[in-house]
């Protein structure tokens, strides 16, 4: 399941987030790395407890809470607080798999990482390289989106960030635990929901078959969800 979420942050929100984080204290990105990731990771990151990161992260959480596409695709149960990273001067993140469980430093809060998300915070023509490269069952997919756009993908996938050879790539990234653990089941629910919404636009939400399909959706969600 690889889904782009256009304009998750609008231009005003992107500007507000960048204003906060650009003037903050950036540290070695390996501050949050597992053993495997630390071998491959070369970037900068905002500390999890930096006030700028917390404030900008809340803006991101507010935005995803307003996104029907994100909610339908992720069906989030728990969301790790958003983090922010930066790549420049040939910095990169080699091929890796995200840790299965993420624990927020200094707290007991933990998230099973079913899904990862990257929100691009720099326009793609402002830097060279920096593509998010994700290995899927259908081949290698490279993602480099407009500022404010996001991509949602399984945390279990092999992925990497290509070296940035010009400019600076800035993004927010984090993980979430979905109510639906299984990626294939989550994809089926997303496809069903998308079809219901498209049909409802033509037939109306009160149409008998729309009501029946909506019932199927919720009964499957009830059967498969962990909440």
List, as residue ranges, the binding site for Fe cation.
96, 98, 159
For residue 197, give both structure tokens.
């919404």
Binding residues: 96, 98, 159, 169
CA separation for the pair 168, 178 (Å, rounded) = 31
8 Å CB contact between 7 and 15: no
Binding residues for 2-oxoglutarate: 169
DSSP assignment string, the chain: --EEETTSS-HHHHHHHHHHHHTS-EEEGGGG--HHHHHHEE-EEE-TT-HHHHHHHHHHHHHHHT-HHHHHHH-EEEEPPPEEEEEETT-EEEEE---SEEE-TTSS-EEE-SEEEEEE-S-GGGSEE--EEEEETTEEEEE---TT-EEEEETTS-EEEPPEEESEEEEEEEEEEES---HHHHHHHHHHHHHHHHHHHHH-TTSHHHHHHHHHHHHHHHHH---
């Amino acid at each position: 399941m690889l889904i782009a979420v256009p304009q998750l942050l609008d231009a005003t929100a992107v500007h507000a987030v960048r204003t906060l984080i650009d003037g903050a204290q950036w540290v070695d990105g390996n501050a949050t790395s597992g053993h495997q990731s630390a071998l491959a990771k070369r970037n900068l990151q905002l500390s999890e407890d930096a006030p700028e990161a917390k404030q900008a992260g809340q803006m991101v959480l507010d935005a995803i809470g307003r996104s029907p596409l994100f909610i339908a695709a992720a069906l989030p149960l728990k969301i790790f607080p958003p983090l922010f990273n930066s790549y420049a001067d040939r910095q990169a993140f080699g091929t890796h798999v995200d840790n299965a469980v993420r624990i927020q430093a200094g707290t007991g809060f933990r998230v099973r990482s079913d899904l990862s998300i990257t929100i691009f915070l720099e326009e793609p023509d402002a830097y060279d390289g920096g593509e998010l490269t994700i290995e899927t069952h259908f081949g290698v997919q490279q993602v480099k989106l407009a500022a404010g756009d996001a991509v949602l993908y399984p945390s279990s996938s092999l992925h990497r960030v290509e070296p940035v050879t010009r400019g600076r790539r800035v993004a927010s990234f984090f993980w979430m635990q979905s109510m639906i653990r299984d990626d294939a089941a989550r994809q089926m629910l997303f496809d069903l929901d998308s079809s219901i919404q498209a049909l409802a636009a033509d037939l109306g939400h009160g149409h008998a078959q729309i009501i029946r399909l909506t019932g199927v959706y919720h009964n499957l969600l009830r059967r498969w969800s962990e909440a």
